[in-house]
Amino acid sequence: MTRLLIIGGVAGGATAAARARRLDEAAEITVLERGPYVSYANCGLPYYIGRDIRQRSALLLQTPEGFDARYGVKVRVNTEALELDRAGRRVRVRGPEGEGWVPYDALILAQGGLPIMPPLPGADAPHVFRLWTVPDVDRLDAFLAERKPASAVVVGGGFIGLEMAEAFRQRGLQTTVVELLPTVMGVMDRELGVAVGRELEANGVQVITGVGLKAVHAAERTVELADGRRVPADLVLFSVGVRPELTLARSAGLELGPSGGLQVDEHLRTSDPHVWAAGDMVEVVQRVSGRKVRIPLAGPANRQGRIAATNALGGDMRYGGALGTSVVKIFEATAAMTGLTERAAREAGLDVGVAVLHKDHHAGYYPGAKELTLKLVYRRPDGLLLGAQAFGHAGVEKRIDVLATALHGRMTLDDLAQLDLAYAPPYSSANDPVNLAAFIGQNDLSGFSPSITAAALAAELGGPTPPLVLDVRTLGEHGKGHLRGALHIPVDELRWELGQVPRDRRLVVHCRTGFRSHLALRILRQSGFPEVRNLTGGYLSMQAEPGLTLEVE
């Protein structure tokens, strides 16, 4: 009989325990959980604060009694693992039953991570919160009910911070997000982060980016920013990142990896042959870059828990790494991503191409079409897909899940261009946005319609031989805002106005999204203009690029 001990009883740990029982009826399975709850829905916590989830009990997926009844697993809550004696294969614990040693034959660490709480002045005040556990949510919910705060500042514009900003708005609070990076959702590329920021503002959230927090002033109920500004804050929520919980592993001498997570092999075995690990505490292979990274998300944690349990009980299941596929709801909008961003791909030293599509999520003639922004990042010259990001009000996560599957299968733009995806007008277009984005990339790589990004254009305009920018939008669009110095000829007049376009300059053509400029580019190329590039993502992407000077007439 194998004695399997699991430390941590939420995503990775609870999954591992349930899987272990399905594999081995005879195993003695024990879960140690420091907190008062096992297997709770931490991803659901923001939605309980926002009251999308109305019943607190819905967050509690299992109880120790339920685990025992269904799986024959002994769950010891309020019990902390204090010390790992690897040589003796035992763990020292402290809990309601006192302090003592628990022996094991196989150990799984699924201890997750801890939210980072920056040591700023005032950050320990009673109206300052984090959101990580059920006790955290209870404390915050009680504060909202009893103190009835009018204003909230969310420090950190990542996934949890933005979910909480929405929750606070839903509870009627004046809400501000403060983000140190130039945009919220800093894990995404700039144009997507800008779109998310605008959506927050459209829903009444004040967004302050590019500046950090200096102090929390409890008495005057404000926070002070690094630039001296003060923002009303009856309540402050920190959501600035997660660090892996490695105290136990480190003191036991288990090896850590280059990204600072616990090192595991493809069987999720640590440097100790009797210890496996899963979830936020481990580092895994990023499937696209091949680099070791930490991807603290629930999907990978659950799948890793399943694999770690299998291998801890003598099985042979391999973990191939993660893509970091993620999605977040921003009021009525959705932002999602998979694989490498353009920034990450460039940092990895890859020769990168980018295709940005702004397109209705289904046939424009069918009621309810919503504009979707889809960005593909691919490798030059072979078109291997490296990553994708999307933002919009419908159809976002569907495209990202398709592209995550494509990434998993190491597909290229040529594969994506031919993907046979489901179509009827209420759902998509005959060419799905995934197909269309791939066409843009194919046209770039083949030279049929070479593209340039807004950031690259900004750099070239500041260089020694700046290209001439040709704006082919309508007069009305041009009047509402345009790039300073751009030549303006609407696409429908271009064939008759070619004489206005200098033949001795490199050209960059743009419209609002990139489609009409693609038509213009083809007219120009077939009229003998040798070097013309299409601005991918068009004016919408230009608006997110700080290096470009846009002006209104």
Ligand X SMILES: Cc1cc2nc3c(=O)[nH]c(=O)nc-3n(C[C@H](O)[C@H](O)[C@H](O)COP(=O)(O)OP(=O)(O)OC[C@H]3O[C@@H](n4cnc5c(N)ncnc54)[C@H](O)[C@@H]3O)c2cc1C
Binding of residue 12 to ligand X (CB under 6 A): yes
Binding of residue 248 to ligand X (CB under 6 A): yes
Binding of residue 279 to ligand X (CB under 6 A): yes
Binding of residue 280 to ligand X (CB under 6 A): yes
* Residues 195-224 contacting ligand X, CB under 6 A: none
**Could you tell me if 157 and 240 are in contact, meaning their C-beta atoms sit under 8 angstroms apart?**
no
**Could you tell me if 160 and 154 are in contact, meaning their C-beta atoms sit under 8 angstroms apart?**
no
Q: Which is nearer to ligand X, 11 or 436 (CB)?
A: 11
Q: Which is nearer to ligand X, 80 or 401 (CB)?
A: 80
Considering only 34, 190, 292, 358, the residue that binds ligand X (CB under 6 A) is 34
Considering only 179, 191, 199, 245, the residue that binds ligand X (CB under 6 A) is 245
Residues 358 and 372: their CA atoms lie apart, in Å, by 6
Q: Which is nearer to ligand X, 16 or 288 (CB)?
A: 16
Q: Which is nearer to ligand X, 301 or 417 (CB)?
A: 301
Binding of residue 514 to ligand X (CB under 6 A): no
Query: Which among 41-49, 150-158, 265-273, 492-500 is the span making contact with ligand X, rule CB under 6 A?
Result: 41-49
Q: Which is nearer to ligand X, 12 or 122 (CB)?
A: 12
Q: Which helix (H) or strand (E) holds 139?
A: helix 134-147
Closest approach, Cβ 503 to ligand X, in A, equals: 53
Closest approach, Cβ 189 to ligand X, in A, equals: 20
Residues 315 and 168: their CA atoms lie apart, in Å, by 46
Residues 532 and 534: their CA atoms lie apart, in Å, by 7
Query: Which residue(s) pair with 535 in the sheet?
Result: 452
Binding of residue 132 to ligand X (CB under 6 A): yes
Nearest to 133 by CA among 38, 66, 51, 67: 38
Binding of residue 298 to ligand X (CB under 6 A): yes
Q: Which is nearer to ligand X, 267 or 522 (CB)?
A: 267
* Helix count and strand count (H, E) for the chain: 17, 32
Residues 32 and 267: their CA atoms lie apart, in Å, by 22
298-312 and 11-23 helices cross at what angle (nearest 10)? 30
Binding of residue 81 to ligand X (CB under 6 A): yes
**Could you tell me if 276 and 307 are in contact, meaning their C-beta atoms sit under 8 angstroms apart?**
no
Binding of residue 330 to ligand X (CB under 6 A): no
Closest approach, Cβ 84 to ligand X, in A, equals: 9
Q: Which is nearer to ligand X, 170 or 543 (CB)?
A: 170
Could you give the strand order of the β-sheet that contains 128-129, starting from the edge strand earlier in sequence?
128-129, 235-238, 151-155, 174-179, 206-209
- The token duo for 407 is 């990434």
Binding of residue 43 to ligand X (CB under 6 A): yes
Binding of residue 156 to ligand X (CB under 6 A): no
Cα 78 to its chain centre, rounded Å, is 32
Closest approach, Cβ 43 to ligand X, in A, equals: 3
Binding of residue 244 to ligand X (CB under 6 A): no
Query: Which among 10-18, 201-209, 257-265, 486-494 is the span making contact with ligand X, rule CB under 6 A?
Result: 10-18
Closest approach, Cβ 217 to ligand X, in A, equals: 26
# of chain residues touching ligand X (CB under 6 A): 31
Closest approach, Cβ 245 to ligand X, in A, equals: 5
Closest approach, Cβ 157 to ligand X, in A, equals: 15
Closest approach, Cβ 12 to ligand X, in A, equals: 3
Query: Which among 3-11, 203-211, 224-232, 267-275 is the span making contact with ligand X, rule CB under 6 A?
Result: 3-11
**Could you tell me if 525 and 500 are in contact, meaning their C-beta atoms sit under 8 angstroms apart?**
no
SS3 (DSSP) at 31: strand
The site string for ligand X over 110-129 (x = CB under 6 A, - otherwise) reads xxx-----------------
Q: Residue 330: is it exposed, middle or buried by C-beta count within 10 angstroms (0-12/13-18/19+)?
A: buried
Binding of residue 481 to ligand X (CB under 6 A): no
Query: Which among 27-35, 97-105, 283-291, 434-442 is the span making contact with ligand X, rule CB under 6 A?
Result: 27-35
Which positions ≥6 away from 413 have C-beta within 8 Å? 376, 378, 383, 385, 438, 441, 442, 445
Q: What HEC string does 491-516 produce?
A: HHHHCCCHHHCCCCCCEEEECCCCHH
Residues 387 and 339: their CA atoms lie apart, in Å, by 4
Q: Which is nearer to ligand X, 113 or 467 (CB)?
A: 113
- The token duo for 416 is 């994506």
Using CB under 6 A, list all residues that contact ligand X.
7-8, 10-13, 32-35, 42-43, 45-46, 80-81, 110-112, 131-132, 160, 245, 248, 279-280, 296-299, 301
